[in-house]
């Protein structure tokens, strides 16, 4: 699966693709592809993994984490994430593309739901059905996010100073930090 994810990422022109992993097996696979790899220790999330090697990534303004379980990730979605990032004026930020979910997928805990405000900014992520409804006929639109996180460097540099809160622990979702 990870090999397919990397193939999709390689379709994005003008973007360096790196594989960052704690698995020697995974890293050796990509050495044969002549892709830059970085070995890490054990980490709790992809964001922690990237932060653990941030010194090796200092020359990047933006770092995108495409999760290894996204074999059908769209190269256009990656490109669009970079385009959105270049328009953001904030010091520290995260871009994660969202999509509409049908009711059946919204019920699945493995499908992360996203609540957005009127400006399409994410205000919460959950494995639970949000917003709650007791009637499938009265469903508001459900949104989920793709397994992509684009950070600017400053956001990743600040990440180790942020404490894991109860919501991140309960939901097991790193983007809540």
Predicted confidence (pLDDT) per residue in 80-131, tens digit = 999 999 999 999 999 999 999 988 888 899 999 999 999 888 999 999 988 8
Say whether both 16 and 57 belong to one domain.
yes
Say whether both 22 and 60 belong to one domain.
yes
Say whether both 158 and 123 belong to one domain.
no
Whether the per-residue pLDDT at 141 is higher than 90: the answer is: no
Q: State which residues form the domain around 127.
A: 98-145
| Total of domains in the chain | 2
User: What is the Cα–Cα distance from 133 to 63, expressed in whole angstroms?
Assistant: 36
Say whether both 132 and 45 belong to one domain.
no
Give the chain's end-to-end CA distance (angstroms, integer).
27
| pTM, to two decimals | 0.87
Give the per-residue pLDDT at 78: 96
Pairing of strands 148-152, 62-66: antiparallel
Query: In 10 A of CB 158, how many CB atoms?
Result: 14
């Amino acid at each position: 699966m990870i090999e397919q994810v990397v193939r999709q990422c390689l379709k994005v022109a003008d973007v360096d693709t790196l594989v960052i992993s704690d698995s020697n097996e995974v890293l050796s696979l990509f050495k044969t592809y002549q892709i830059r790899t970085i070995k890490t220790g054990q980490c709790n999330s992809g964001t922690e993994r990237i932060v653990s090697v941030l010194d090796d990534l200092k020359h990047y303004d933006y770092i995108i984490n495409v999760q290894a379980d996204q074999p059908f990730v769209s190269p256009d979605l990656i490109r669009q994430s970079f385009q959105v990032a270049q328009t953001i004026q904030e010091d520290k930020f995260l871009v994660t593309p969202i999509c509409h979910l049908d009711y059946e997928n919204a019920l699945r805990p493995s499908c992360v739901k996203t609540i957005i405000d009127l400006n399409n900014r994410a205000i919460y992520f959950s494995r639970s059905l949000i917003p709650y409804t007791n009637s499938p006929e009265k469903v508001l639109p459900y949104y989920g996010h793709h397994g992509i996180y684009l950070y600017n460097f400053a956001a990743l540099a600040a990440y180790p100073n942020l404490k894991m809160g109860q919501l991140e622990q309960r939901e097991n979702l790193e983007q809540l930090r």
